[in-house]
Amino acid sequence: MTSKDSILFDVDGTLMDAVANQRRVWHEWAGRYGLDGDEVYAVALRTRPVETFAAVVPGADPAECLALLHALEDEDVRTGTYAAFDGAAELLAALPTGRWALVTSNYEHRVRGRFERTGLPLPELIVDAASVSEGKPSPVPYLRAAEILGADPAECLVIEDAPSGVRSGRAAGMTVWTVNTPTPAEGSQRHFGTLAEAAPEILARAGVRP
């Protein structure tokens, strides 16, 4: 590893605290189908939306299920309450332009909406769900980010919170650190209880001197 890695961030749970928003959206979605919100959300945490639909409403049209979910998520971006994790704004502002990116399973317009509302700096590159043929835990999203940045995957540092993201980064041949969880996800190579604790080490890996 060099001392000037490219830094690739997951968004929800890593830079942005959106757990309550995700829970609320899934509960409202479940209510539209007469389902128990807690039970649906428990499934949604483990699977991609299309797999969640198949598990909880196997007879429903997946396209209609997804359209409703997207509408609820878009409304939440406009009206929901969001908060960036402590230290996120300062960390992102200190990183060199063109040396960091967002790699998210969400869609770019929602990420931009949330960042604008919370004042977080946006990078030049966002690899979102529409940018790739396969989502996390496939390595494709992180490899795509490295390719666009012109970075060697071996010289990329991934910052994640979720097991699927950790698997994605590791499968891409990258170093993966986890933040904002009590314990690290399996495969994490270094863990920090909060993003703020990790920030100085992340900046060091990016070659930013204090």
Q: Report the candidate in 113, 105, 55, 47 with the shortest Cα–Cα distance to residue 80.
A: 113
Is 10 designated active site?
yes
By DSSP bridging, strand 83-84 and strand 16-17 are antiparallel
Instruction: Spot the catalytic one: 5, 12, 17, 128.
Output: 12
Long-range contacts of 172-176 (CB under 8 A, 24+ apart): 172/139, 172/142, 172/143, 172/146, 173/139, 174/8, 174/142, 174/146, 175/1, 175/5
Instruction: Spot the catalytic one: 5, 10, 128, 161.
Output: 10
Among the residues of 35-187, which ranges form H helices? 37-44, 49-56, 62-79, 88-94, 108-118, 140-149, 163-171
Q: In the numeric block, which tokens belong to residue 183?
A: 């314990």
**The three-state (H, E, C) secondary structure of 36-51, written as one string:** CHHHHHHHHCCCCHHH
So which residues are the catalytic ones?
10, 12
